[in-house]
Amino acid sequence: MSRRCGRTAALLLLLTAIPIALLFSIERSASGYKYSGGGWFHECAKWDASADRFLVSTFTSGTIGEITIGTGSELEEKTVVSDADVAGNWSLGIAIDRRRKRLLVVYADVLGLTYGGVAAYDLGSWERRFLIQLAGKGGEKSFADDVAVDEDGNSYITDAKANKIWKVGLNGELLSVIRK
């Protein structure tokens, strides 16, 4: 590389480094909240306006955390759901069903793709209302991933591996499977 090209490259590097450093400086000095969570990877977060909190699924531990504003600008996280019946599986998508005051949680065996299920928990007591295993019984590889709820309380759980959607009723019964 010629000396002129080397100087040009150094100048371009300097010119791009200054704006990037400025952006980092502004970001770090901006006021906001400080937070450190219990798990190392939160997959999904939903705002629960009725209780002024975030609910988060913790990818690797399979738990659900509650994040609230503590003192000053500190956010506090505590585990509110740790279900022994799904131990070893990861909690993924969550949905708040405000009408029925419950939280729907998708659980999956992310590494082996051999388990998929959904559970509902009471938003006040955190007692489990139901847990249904959707995948893993017939040997088909599955990746239960996310959940949505309709106005009748039916849950729809996506299977990202097998290209289908499970429809689960209000009380945890499998109603149908929609396949691509």
pLDDT tens-digit profile of 47-81?
Answer: 999 998 889 998 778 899 888 876 666 777 888 99
Residue 121 lies in a domain: yes
Say how many CA atoms lie within 13 Å of 42 toward its Cβ: 18
- Give the mean model confidence (pLDDT) for residues 39-45: 73
Residue 149 confidence (pLDDT): 97
Mean of pLDDT over the chain: 83
Enter the tokens of residue 11. Answer: 């100048």
Enter the tokens of residue 10. Answer: 């150094």
Residue 133 confidence (pLDDT): 93
Residue 158 lies in a domain: yes
Residue 86 confidence (pLDDT): 92
Residue 52 lies in a domain: yes
Q: How far apart are CA 73 and CA 57, in angstroms?
A: 22
Residue 22 lies in a domain: no
Q: How far apart are CA 165 and CA 178, in angstroms?
A: 5
Residue 76 lies in a domain: yes
CB atoms within 10 A of CB 164: 17
Residue 85 lies in a domain: yes
Residue 162 confidence (pLDDT): 86
Residue 167 confidence (pLDDT): 97
Residue 126 confidence (pLDDT): 96
Residue 12 confidence (pLDDT): 58
pLDDT tens-digit profile of 106-140?
Answer: 999 888 878 899 999 999 999 999 999 998 777 77
Tell me the residue range of the domain where 172 lies: 31-179
Residue 7 confidence (pLDDT): 65
For the ranges 25-34, 140-149, 160-169, which has the lowest average pLDDT?
A: 25-34
CATH number for the domain spanning 165: value is 2.120.10.30
Residue 21 lies in a domain: no
Domain count, the chain: 1
Residue 25 lies in a domain: no
Residue 136 confidence (pLDDT): 76
